[in-house]
Chains A and B, each alone.
Chain A
Amino acid sequence: MSEAPVVVDDVVKRYGEVAAVDHVTAEVRHGELFGFIGPDGAGKTTLFRILTTLLLPDSGSARVLGRDVVTDLWALRREIGYMPGRFSLYPDLSVRENLDFFASVFGTTVAREYEHIAPIYSQLEEFNDRRAAALSGGMKQKLALCCALVHRPNILFLDEPTTGVDAVSRREFWELLARMRTSGLTIVVSTPYMDEANRCDRVALMQNGRILATDAPAAVAASFERTLLAVRSPDRYRVLLALRDYPHTQRVYPFGESLHLADDRAGIDAARASSEATAFLHDKGFTDARVEPTPPTIEDVFISRMSAVNAPVAAA
C-alpha cells in the first residue's frame, strides 16, 4: 500500500446555509496518530462520519485505505474501526455480551482476538458481567475501544474519545493509544482539548469546517508569528483591560492562571517587548504585574488563527 491511509480531497458537506465541512483537504500517513483538534461545531464529527462511510459528502472525495468512502463502503466497513463520540454500545448488554456481539458481527470471536485486545480488555475483564450502562465514563471508553478493535481494523477512527471523561482516565486513554500506535495501527482521533494535541504525531486545527493548519504539534506551535508574553498579576481582569490600550497589543487573552499578550511588532526581541510591557503597566499603576516571555502553545496558535478567520464576522 503506497497511498496514504486517509486522503481527503476538497470535501464539502453543507447543512442548509452552514458548511459543516468546508473544502477540507487532508492526509493521514501510515502508522500515524493523527489528531483533528477544534472546538465543538468545528466539523470534526461530520468529517469523521464521511470517512467512516456514514455520511455522503456534497462534493470532493475521500479515500480510506485506498478505498473510496462513497463507492467502496462495504469493503471499507470490514477494515475500519470506529468509535463514535457518543457512547454507542448497548447499555443493557454486559461488557462481554457487547464484545461478543461485535466480534460475531465481524465473523470472529473474543477468544480468537484475545491477544490482540488484551492490553485494554484485561482492564475490563473483571467487569465482564456488568451492564455497559453501569460502567464509569473511562471504562465505557475502554469497552468502546475494545469493540472497535475486536475485528483487527487497519485504521481506527476515534471521535472525541476523551470528552466527558475525567482527567486521569483521559491520560490513561492517551497512553493506551500511544501503545497501540507502536503496533503500526493508523489512528485518527478528534478532540476539543488543545492540551491533547501534543499526544499526536501530527494535528490538523479545525474551525468552522476548515482546516487552519496541519503539522506536527511542535511545528504548529512554532508557527506562532509574534512574540508572546505571559503577564501575571493578582488583578488579572483590570490588567487585561489596561493591556487592551497598550499600543503594541496585537491580542491579549486569559490563558490559565495568567494572561497572554501577543506583541504586534514582528521580530521584536522578547526581552525588550517584556520590559516595555512592564513599564506600561507600571505607569498604569500595576506595580506588582510580572511580564516574561513564554513559548507559544498550540492553543495560542489556535486563538490567533481563529480570530483571523472570525475577524470579518466580528466586524459585521
Chain B
Amino acid sequence: MSAASAVRGFARRTLALARAEVLHVIRDRASLVQIIVMPLVQLLVLSNVATFAVKRSPVYFVDFDHSPASRGIVTRFAASDLFDIVGQSASPDAANEAMLRGDATLVVTIPRDFERDLVRDKAAPIGLDLNAEKGSAAGIVQSYAAQTLTDYAAELGTEIVPTPRNVIDGPPSEIPPHPGAAHIDVRLRSWYNQTLDYKHYMVPGILVALVTMIGTLLTAQNIAREKEMGTLEQLNVTPIGKAEFITAKLLPFWVLAMIDLMLGLAVARLVFDVPIRGSLVLLMGSAGLYMIVALAIGLWISALVETQQQAMFTSFFVIMIYLLMSGLLTPIDSMPHWVQVASLVNPVRHFVSISRAILVKGAGLAEISTQLVTLAVFAVGFLTLAIRQYRKRAA
C-alpha cells in the first residue's frame, strides 16, 4: 500500500467515524442543549459566587470620644460601600455581643481623648477587632479598614495608628491606648487589575474549569457507552485503526468544546467585562491545544474502563484533583511545596495561567511559550496513552 493511499484510508475511516459521532450528538437534543447551555448558566452563576472581594462588611463602632474627629471616622466608613454600619455605642459589651451574634465582622474602638491626641501629637491609636473565623475575609476587611483610616488621617494631616486584633472566640475588650503599636501603612496597588475586580481573575478560570469538565466527561463516557451498547464489537471487526478511532472520537468534541469556550468568552467579555488584553487568536490557539489534552484524558479513561458509571467516577476523581490543584480557586504559591511540584504535571494549571496571562496581562507568545510546549507534550502523551489503551481485541 502506498503512503498516499494509506493517508487517504486513514482520513476516510476517521471522517466516517467522526461523522457518525456528530450524528450521535445532533440526534441527542437534550445532551446537545446541556453541552451548550449548561456551562453558560454555570458561568453566569458561579462567576458571581466565586469572589474574594468583601463588600458591605458589618462594622460596629465603640466611640468613647464623641468628638468631631471620631464622628468623621464613622462618616468615612458609612460612605464606603465596603462597610455597613450595624451599630454604634459607647459600650464594649454591646459590641462584644454584636460580634458573638455574628452581626459584626469588625469592631472599631475609638478611645477617649482620640481627637485630643490627634491634634496634640499628630497621631492617635485606634482599635480594630476582627472576627477571623473566615481567615482570608478578615484579612481583607482589615486592610480595607486600615486604608480607610489612613486616607482619613492623611486628609487631616495626621496619623492614625490602627491596632488590629483577630478575634475568633474571645470577646473584644476595650482597647487600651497602644503607644508602641506598629504603624501599619497599607498601600495596596494591584497591577493589571487596578480595581482588584475578582471577576476579571475568576471568570477565565471558571470558564477553563467548565470546558475541562464538559470535554473530559463527554469523551470519558463515549467509548464506555459503545462498550455497554455492544456497538464497539461490530466496530472492532472493521479495518478502523486505533489512532483513527481515537482521532475520530476526539474531533467532534473538540469542536464542541471550542464552541463552548467561544460562547463563554463572549459572556465573560459582555456580561462580566473581562478584558481581553492579549491576542484572541493566541488564546484560541492555546485553548485548542489544551482541549486536545483534556479530551485525550477523557478518552484514555474511557478506553480504560468498562462502563459509563466507572467512567464518570474516574473522571470526577481526576477532574476534582486537577481543578483544585490548578490554582483556579487558591493560589498555587500558597500550597505546600510538594503540591506545587505535583501541579506541574497538571495541564489545567498551565492553561489557567495561560488564559489569565493572555486575558488580563495581555501576554504574548513569548511569555507563555514554556507552558504551550508543556501542553503540547501533554497532548502527545495523553493521546498516545489513549490510543495504546484502546483494545480492539481482548486477551
Contact = CB atoms under 8 A, between A and B. Distances in A.
A268 interface: no
Contact of B12 (A89, A107, A131): A107
Given A97-B23, A105-B239, A106-B239, A82 B393 contact: no
Interface string A193-214: 0000000000000000000000
Given A54-B394, A56-B395, A91-B229, A77 B238 contact: yes
B23 A104 contact: no
B16 A87 contact: no
B237 A82 contact: yes
Contacts of B240: 105
Contacts of B189: none
Contact of A54 (B20, B231, B239, B393): B393
Q: Which of B20, B23, B28, B230 gathers most chain A CB within 10 Å?
A: B20
A258 to B, nearest CB: 39
Interface string B214-254: 00000000000000011111111111100000000000000
Contacts of A74: 239
Contacts of A92: 23-24, 27-28
Interface string B49-92: 00000000000000000000000000000000000000000000
B130 interface: no
Contacts of A78: 239
- Sort A-B residue pairs by CB-CB distance and give the 9 closest, nearest first: A88-B234, A104-B16, A86-B230, A92-B27, A82-B237, A84-B233, A88-B230, A105-B238, A88-B233
A72 B71 CA distance: 92
25 contacts: A53-B237, A53-B393, A54-B237, A54-B392, A55-B393, A56-B393, A56-B395, A84-B233, A84-B234, A86-B233, A88-B229, A90-B20, A90-B23, A90-B24, A90-B231, A91-B229, A92-B23, A92-B27, A97-B20, A101-B17, A104-B13, A104-B16, A105-B238, A107-B9, A147-B234
A93 B19 CA distance: 11
Nearest to B16: A104
Contacts, number: 78
Interface in A128-171: 131, 147
A101 B20 contact: yes
A73 B13 contact: no
A105 B16 contact: yes
A40 B19 CA distance: 37
Given A54-B233, A55-B393, A105-B238, 17 more contacts: A54-B392, A56-B393, A77-B237, A77-B238, A78-B239, A88-B229, A88-B233, A88-B234, A89-B231, A89-B234, A90-B24, A91-B229, A92-B28, A101-B19, A104-B16, A105-B13, A147-B234
A191 interface: no
B236 A54 contact: yes
Nearest to A100: B16
A152 to B, nearest CB: 14
Contacts of B19: 101
A93 B226 CA distance: 14
A82 B23 CA distance: 24
A73 B229 contact: no
Contact of A101 (B16, B28, B229, B239): B16
Contacts of B20: 90, 93, 97, 101
B237 A102 contact: no
A274 interface: no
Nearest to B237: A82
Interface in A39-97: 49, 52-56, 73-74, 77-78, 80, 82, 84, 86-93, 97
Tell me the dominant secondary structure on chain B's binding face: helix
B231 A106 contact: no
Nearest to A80: B237
Residue of A77, A87, A88, A102 contacting most chain B CB atoms (<10 Å): A88
A102 B234 CA distance: 10
Contacts of A90: 20, 23-24, 231
Choose among B19, B20, B237 the residue with the greatest number of A CB atoms under 10 Å from its CB.
B237
A104 B236 CA distance: 15
A134 to B, nearest CB: 12
B230 A104 contact: no
A105 B237 contact: no
Interface string B6-18: 0001001101110
Contacts of B234: 82, 84, 88-89, 147
A73 B232 CA distance: 17
Nearest to B15: A104
B88 to A, nearest CB: 67
Contacts of B237: 52-54, 77, 80, 82
A56 B393 CA distance: 7
Interface string B354-370: 00000000000000000
Contact of B17 (A77, A86, A87, A105): A105
Nearest to B28: A92
Nearest to A157: B237
Interface string B21-53: 001100110000000000000000000000000
Nearest to A90: B231
A222 to B, nearest CB: 37
Nearest to A58: B395
Contacts of A131: 27
Contacts of A84: 230, 233-234
Nearest to B19: A101
Nearest to B17: A105
Interface string B307-348: 000000000000000000000000000000000000000000
Contacts of B393: 53-56, 73
A56 B395 CA distance: 5
Contact of A106 (B15, B229, B238, B395): B238
Contact of B23 (A86, A93, A107): A93
Contacts of B232: 88
A89 B230 CA distance: 8
A104 B23 CA distance: 15
Interface string B249-269: 000000000000000000000
A106 B394 CA distance: 22
A88 B228 CA distance: 10
A52 to B, nearest CB: 5
Contacts of A97: 20, 23
